[in-house]
Amino acid sequence: MYRVLIVGRPNVGKSSLFNRLVGKRTAVVADTPGVTRDLKEHVVETEKGRFMLIDSGGMWSSDVWEHKIKEKVEQALKTADLVLFAVDGRSDLATADLEVADFLRRQHKNVLVVATKVDDPKHENYLGDLYALGFGDPIPTSTAHARGLDDLIDAIWARLPVRQADDEPEVVPIRIAIVGRPNAGKSSLLNAILGEERVIVSEQPGTTRDVIDVEFDYGGNRFLLVDTAGIRKRPETLVEEIAINRAHNAILDADVVLLVIDPFEVGDRELKLANEALDAGKPVILTITKWDLVEQEEARKVRADLNLKLAHLEHLPRAYVSAVTKENLHKLFSEAARLYAMARERRETAELNRFLSLWTAHVALPNFKGKPLKIFFLTQAEVAPPTFVFFVNYPEFVTRAFEGYLRNRIGEDLGIKEIPFKLVFRGRRDPKGKEKGKEEE
C-alpha cells in the first residue's frame, strides 16, 4: 500500500489535515504546540484507491521531544512514497519551515507542499513565499471549511508512483488495545514487539498523547496493535483528558484488550479497567510487565501478591512479560488469537440443549408461590460476545443464585470462562427478553 507522510513544524495543522483526509477525528488536535509526538497511521479510502496516511510530530519544536520526533520522521521517510509538507498559509515563512525544507531536500523524497488554514480564496494570493521552499506549486487547503481537499487528493495520486495493483484479498486484522495506568510499560511493550522504537518512551508520565495504531503479522495472523495514553483518574490537562477519552474508546473498538500491569503498582485502577473492558464484551489478557526487574527468589512472592490483588480476575489469562528480555511476548499473540476465535465461536442449539438438560437435572429450579421456573430451550443468538438466550415461562423467576449457577456451568462446560458472555432470559409474553446481570467478569 502507498504510504503518504505529513511533516511540518509544530502547530501548522498537520493533525487537523490528517483527520480531514481520514474522514474522522482520530488524532488529538489542540492549539497547544507539540500535541502529536508519535507517528499515527490510518488508511484513506478514495475513488482512485487506498493509501496509508501517516501523521507526525512537529519538527524543530525546540523542546525536549525535538530529537525523538526527528528520529520518528526519518524512520517514516524510509518507506514513504510521498511527503506532504504542511505550512501555515496565513503566516509568513518561519525559520523552522526553512529548516524542515532543507531537511526534506537532503532526503531526496517526493514532496508536495500543502498550505493549511487558507479559509478564504482571496488568501491564496499571499502564497507566493511558499515557492521559496523549492517544491513547486502549493496546494491551498482549509480543514475548518473543507476547502481544497479534493484538489489535494488529486495531487497526491498524481505524485504517487505507478504500481501494479495488489490482487490479494485484504485480511481484517485482530485489533488489540494496549491499556493501563501511566508508566506501566505500554509503549515499551509495543516497541519490544515491533523490534524498534516505534513510539517515544520516557519516564515522564503522559508521554503518549494519542492512540497509535500499528499493523503486525505473527504466526499467520494479522494484528492491529493500538497503543494508548496512560489512564489516570484525574487528567492534568485538556490534551491529556482528550487522550484518555481516546483510550477508553480504543477499548470499545478492540477485539482483545491487553491490560498492562506494573507488578510493583497494582490497585483499583487495574480492576476498573478490566471491568470496563469485560462490560463492553471484550476479552482481556492480564499482561504483567517489567518481569525482568523481579528477582528470581522474589518471583513466587510477587505472583502471590498479584493473585491476591487480582483475585476478582483470576479467570482471565495472564502473561508475565519483559520488554527488555522479550520474555513471553509470543504468548500475547497466541492468547489473543485464541480468545478472538473463542469469542466468535457459535454453538449449535441442539448441543446447548443437551447441556441444559444436564444442568437442570442437578439443581432445583426456582419456585415462586407454587409456580416453578420452566426453561423451554436455550440458543446462542450472538457472538463477540457470545449471547445465550434462555426461553422461559417467567424471566422474573430467575434468581441471582440460579443465574450464577448457569454462568458457572456455561463457562466451565462450554470452555469459555476466560471471555465475557451474556445471558438473556426471554418469556412467552416478553419477545424482547430481559438481560440478567452483566457480562461474565
Residues 208 and 292 in one domain: yes
In a domain, 437, yes or no: no
Residues 203 and 338 in one domain: yes
Residues 6 and 77 in one domain: yes
Distance CA 319, CA 363 (A): 36
Domain stops at, among 323, 344, 365? 344
Per-residue pLDDT reduced to its tens digit, 67-102: 888 888 898 999 999 999 999 998 889 999 999 999
Q: Does the pLDDT value for residue 205 go beyond 50?
A: no
Distance CA 303, CA 299 (A): 6
Q: Where is the binding site for GTP, in residues?
A: 8-15, 55-59, 180-187, 227-231
Q: Where is the binding site, in residues?
A: 8-15, 55-59, 180-187, 227-231
Omega within 30 of 0 (cis) for the link into 385: yes
Residues 325 and 356 in one domain: no
Residues 239 and 278 in one domain: yes
CATH of the domain at 213: 3.40.50.300
pLDDT in the model for residue 291: 96
pTM of the full predicted structure? 0.69
In a domain, 353, yes or no: yes
Structural domain boundaries enclosing 35: 2-159
- pLDDT-based confidence at residue 430 (cuts at 50, 70, 90): low
In a domain, 435, yes or no: no
In a domain, 433, yes or no: no
Residues 373 and 294 in one domain: no
| pLDDT above 90: percentage of residues in the chain | 60
| pLDDT above 70: percentage of residues in the chain | 87
- pLDDT-based confidence at residue 208 (cuts at 50, 70, 90): very low
Residues 227 and 335 in one domain: yes
Residues 57 and 195 in one domain: no
pLDDT in the model for residue 287: 97
Residues 10 and 101 in one domain: yes
Per-residue pLDDT reduced to its tens digit, 41-72: 888 999 888 899 999 888 877 666 678 888 88
Residues 130 and 178 in one domain: no
Residues 356 and 330 in one domain: no
In a domain, 68, yes or no: yes
Number of domains observed in the structure of the chain: 3
- pLDDT-based confidence at residue 211 (cuts at 50, 70, 90): low
- pLDDT-based confidence at residue 305 (cuts at 50, 70, 90): very high
In a domain, 149, yes or no: yes
Per-residue pLDDT reduced to its tens digit, 149-177: 999 999 999 999 876 555 555 678 999 99
Per-residue pLDDT reduced to its tens digit, 94-126: 999 999 999 999 998 999 999 999 998 888 888
Residues 259 and 198 in one domain: yes
Domain stops at, among 125, 159, 193? 159
Domain stops at, among 130, 159, 188? 159
In a domain, 262, yes or no: yes
